[in-house]
Amino acid sequence: MSEGIALPPVARGTLLDEPARLARLDEALPQIHAVLAGETDAVALQATVACLLWETFVQANWCGFYRCVGESTLAVGPYQGTMGCLRIDFDRGVCGACARTREVQLVPDVLAFPGHIACDDRTRSELVVPVVCRGELRAVLDLDSPHLSGYSRREADAVLALVRETFDAGSIVW
């Protein structure tokens, strides 16, 4: 059995500079793909992605999924970090905006984002990525940070690519 992924230890809450964050991500991604290979259960995948991205993004104070339940509601799914809101309507917050538009939301300053939901009032920036499988929105992946500009466009692109490769397959059991 795997014991997780090997990355240099960095204290939770540290905001490394962008090159160091990208290097850490480059080191993590092949290991994450190797761990996920062959798994088709959506909850097992979500739990493991949340765990391993939490290890990778040391600047995060929350990392996990909100699942689509019903027409316009998200319910919290597997995550790491401080307690998250249990439900979020599509018309609220950064997660709601991602669910509504199906577009990546990269928010360098949540206080400047109209309708931001403060599940943890230390959160200063967010990255939210849509989880779409065969044309159907299944969830969003939310990464929060207590730092302003905690995530870059290149990190957003890499997370979106990981999510697509992991979840946009006909074999996934939702």
Chain positions contacting ligand SME, by CB under 6 A: 62, 84-85, 88, 93-95, 116-117, 119-120, 123, 126, 142, 144
Distance of alpha carbon 84 from alpha carbon 148, whole angstroms: 19
Residue nearest to ligand SME (CB): 93
Nearer to ligand SME, 58 or 99 (CB): 99
Give me the least distance between CB of 118 and ligand SME, in Å please: 7
Give me the least distance between CB of 65 and ligand SME, in Å please: 10
Contacts of 70 (CB under 8 A, 6+ apart): none
Nearer to ligand SME, 144 or 155 (CB): 144
Partners of 65 in beta bridges: 141
Q: Tell me, what DSSP letter sits at residue 121?
A: T
Nearer to ligand SME, 20 or 111 (CB): 111
Distance of alpha carbon 1 from alpha carbon 51, whole angstroms: 16
Partners of 136 in beta bridges: 133
Distance of alpha carbon 49 from alpha carbon 167, whole angstroms: 11
Distance of alpha carbon 98 from alpha carbon 141, whole angstroms: 9
Residue 24 corresponds to which tokens in the numbers above?
Answer: 């850490």
Nearer to ligand SME, 36 or 95 (CB): 95
Nearer to ligand SME, 35 or 85 (CB): 85
Give me the least distance between CB of 173 and ligand SME, in Å please: 25
Distance of alpha carbon 73 from alpha carbon 41, whole angstroms: 22
Does an H or E element contain 21, and which? helix 18-36
Give me the least distance between CB of 143 and ligand SME, in Å please: 9
Give me the least distance between CB of 96 and ligand SME, in Å please: 6
